[in-house]
Chains A and B, each alone.
Chain A
Amino acid sequence: GGIITQTPKFLIGQEGQKLTLKCQQNFNHDTMYWYRQDSGKGLRLIYYSITENDLQKGDLSEGYDASREKKSSFSLTVTSAQKNEMAVFLCASSIDSSAETLYFGSGTRLTVL
């Protein structure tokens, strides 16, 4: 079995700061995703990547950048953290198509002071 590792587990930043979240998977999956989870709003898609070096915007991409330099890793950058922002960012991967199981990491919990 494989695993998705997100680092860090907890991230505390200052308003306006640029923050980077990392995700690694050893499933050898082609497709990777970044979702943001807020209470009462479910999981909202920020970016996804169909394969290495590919990037596709989700519904919540404004304020974020992403990078897929290797098949196994997908990073997300908050370009300017918003004060009082709190959310969990979930990374996921799926094998190679649009109709397959998503495997999620444990999440990065972001707090902006």
Chain B
Amino acid sequence: GEQVEQLPSILRVQEGSSASINCSYEDSASNYFPWYKQEPGENPKLIIDIRSNMERKQIQELIVLLDKKAKRFSLHITDTQPGDSAMYFCAANLDTNAYKVIFGKGTHLHVLP
């Protein structure tokens, strides 16, 4: 299969709390799972990624988890700030030889003051 499912589509959290976005994929050959942030009027930019040889990766307040057995990966933003409000997309490459990068439908995160 060539789908990446992403939930929720909209997420509202209070400033200072955590936000979690979950994604699942179908292709067991996937080995690269990036997360992109898109601010209004801007193009998507990579914020963190994880490869299949890892289960957890953290960059400052961003944590990504990968469960290869369940074919799920997730992004957790700790201590959210108003600047974290944006669209977030998960993605996966679907075949290590074909360079196809497929995106989830996105999560619109609103951090409420």
Residues of A within 8 A of B (CB): 31, 33, 35, 40-45, 48, 50, 56, 58-59, 90, 94, 97-102, 104-107
Contacts and interface: CB of A to CB of B under 8 A. Distances in A.
B44 A104 contact: yes
Contacts of A43: 44, 89, 103, 106
Contacts of B44: 43, 90, 102, 104
A42 B44 CA distance: 11
Contacts of B34: 101-102
Interface string B1-38: 01000100100000000000000000000011010100
Interface of B: 2, 6, 9, 31-32, 34, 36, 42-46, 49, 51, 89, 93, 95-106
B5 to A, nearest CB: 10
Given A42-B104, A48-B99, 5 more contacts: A43-B106, A98-B31, A98-B96, A99-B31, A100-B32
Given A104-B45, A106-B43, A107-B43, A42 B105 contact: yes
Contacts of B93: 98-99
7 contacts: A35-B103, A42-B89, A43-B89, A45-B100, A45-B103, A50-B99, A101-B34
Q: Which of B9, B42, B49, B101: most chain A Cβ within 10 A?
A: B101
Nearest to A59: B2
A100 B96 CA distance: 11
Given A98-B32, A98-B93, A42 B101 contact: no
Contacts of B98: 56, 98
Contacts of A40: 9, 105
A48 B95 CA distance: 14
Contacts of A102: 34, 36, 44, 46, 101
Nearest to B45: A104
A80 B97 CA distance: 32
Nearest to A49: B99
Nearest to A44: B103
